[in-house]
Amino acid sequence: MFIGWSLSVKGIGQEQVLPHPWRAAAGVTLINAGVWSFNRFVTNEPFARVSGKALLRNLTGHFVWDNDKFSTNMLSHPYHGSLYFTAARVNGLSFYGAVPYTLGGSLMWEWMGENEPPSVNDVLATTFGGVALGEVSVRLSDSVLDESKQGVERFFRELAATLLSPVTGLERLFSGRMWRVSHKRHKPRVPVVVGVDIGVGGISAVGMKGAHQQVSPYLRFSLQYGDWYAAMKRPYDCFSLKACLSLAPTQPLITELAVEGRLWSKEWTLDSPDARGSWELVQLFNYRHHKVAGEDNPFRYAEAAAVGTGFHWQKGSVGRQPRWSVQGLAKWVLLGGVITEYYRVIERDYNLGSGIGLKGAFCWTPFPFLSLGVDLHATRLFTWKGYDEQRLRRETLYVNVQGDKGHFTLWQVEPHLRLRCGKRCRLQLSGMLHTLQMHYSRFPDRVMRGGGMSVSVGYTW
């Protein structure tokens, strides 16, 4: 709640840092050294026992598609990449200038941080996902910081900024900026709207093994940074963030995480004086991992590396809300993951692939206290590289496989109804309908269907 309040109050931008490329490279190296040391000497992970022979094999061998579990490949690796990206950003590198450091940190880890073969999907997820999560964390921590404050408020602002971006906090600690007082305004304030909802939801799925249900409480965060229709100068001057934390022990802690960051935009000229529009190019990150009994469900899906192009449009206003708002995107997925019924190797029970998709959003606000909306997603992923059963049994660790060869189409419809109670409170009723059509090259086609309903109360800053 303090983070949300800090992001919404009128703060000041922080001092621009001169570029320090070598210091950024040292930061990336220290991150890898620290993570490897923890894995090797604290948790004593087998993969962290890197010998000279393993190092030589990694440097001279080929990349593979690894068999780590879903959350590791699609969430942990992007978070790891965000640390590399942040190390470059806090040392003065631009958005695009920090991307090579993220890629370099990922390659360093793949070649030197593990005794397992380097993974092509890890490099893609760490680099692209790391850029998305890293820039979001840098922007949010910077919005919280205010070097004109002192005392208790300054302490909590620095703490909140460190929680949002640990690398930023460490850099400020060791440079002395954490306790320095300044009264200069370096950057204009960016409008930020934060929402927190707590509620309970139920999901059900019908697949090959029958029907299953799961009910659990949750905590949902939503954030809108910047104005989608304002002039844009830099990447991620505008982005949205959605995250859902499960409060049930039967579910993963993070069940949903989605980022949409604008890379480029152009104003859409409209004749109507009360209408606004823009064309855009955005980066997308999407992670969803709900569990139901038997894991026979379409709610486990991720896009770690994706971009989209499309438009935003809104018209009219009711109070502070537009009466109509529409978004449409065509997206290209470089790396995605979707559940499969057959491929079971080590910790992997999902396919990796690439593909295309569409995304749409519509919201109607007929009254200041009522809004109705729906989000639509359609994505087709292709798994290009299949496997031979006999070879798979012989070369489990080194097999170069994306999963079950075929294509997989996911349809998602998510309607919602929102009632405003006063200026900041809200009551929301949400639903979701998911259909996963699975076309295998070697197995019979399958269809999984799922749905759910949730109710929550929330507060907006």
Measured CA to CA, the distance from residue 201 to residue 459 in angstroms comes to: 18
Which residues lie across from 455 on neighbouring strands?
200, 429
Query: Contact 82/133 with Cβ under 8 angstroms?
Result: yes
Exposure pattern of 229-243 as b/e (b: 16+ CB <10 Å)?
A: beebeebbbbbbbbb
Report pLDDT digits (tens) over 231-259: 788 999 999 999 999 998 888 999 999 99
In a shared domain, residues 88 and 161: yes
Q: Are residues 55 and 158 in the same domain?
A: yes
Q: Per the domain annotation, does 214 fall within a domain?
A: yes
Q: How would residue 10 be classed by pLDDT, with cut points 50, 70 and 90?
A: very low
Residue 444 domain-assigned?
yes
User: Considering the domain boundaries, does residue 381 fall inside one?
Assistant: yes
pTM value is 0.91
**How many domains does the chain fold into?**
2
Pair 334, 388 in one domain: yes
Residue 177 has pLDDT above 70, yes or no: yes
Query: Is the same domain home to 281 and 405?
Result: yes
| Pair 29, 104 in one domain | yes
**132 shares its domain with 203:** no
End-to-end CA distance of the chain: 9
Point out the domain boundary residue: 143, 175, 207. 175
Q: Which structural domain, as residue segments, surrounds residue 439?
A: 192-460
**Residues 147, 252 within the same domain:** no
Are 399 and 372 part of one and the same domain?
A: yes
Q: HSE of 445 in the Cβ direction (CA atoms, 13 Å)? A: 8
Q: Is residue 406 part of a domain?
A: yes
Is 223 part of a structural domain of the chain? yes
CATH number where 442 lies: 2.40.230
Residue 187 covered by a domain: no
Residue 390 covered by a domain:
yes
83 and 138 share one domain? yes
Residue for token digits 């190296």?
Answer: 29
- Are 244 and 98 in a shared domain? no
23 with 57, same domain?
yes
Q: What is the pLDDT of residues 320-331, one digit of tens each?
A: 567 889 999 999
Reported as a single tens digit per residue, the pLDDT across 371-401 is: 999 999 999 999 998 887 777 766 666 678 8
Using the predicted structure, report yes or no on whether residue 367 has a pLDDT greater than 90.
no
- pLDDT confidence of residue 56: 92
Are 129 and 202 in the same domain? no
pLDDT tens by residue, 30-77? 999 999 999 999 999 988 899 889 899 889 888 999 999 999 999 999
* In a domain? residue 197: yes
SS3 155: helix
CA dihedral 360, 361, 366, 369 (to 10 degrees): 170
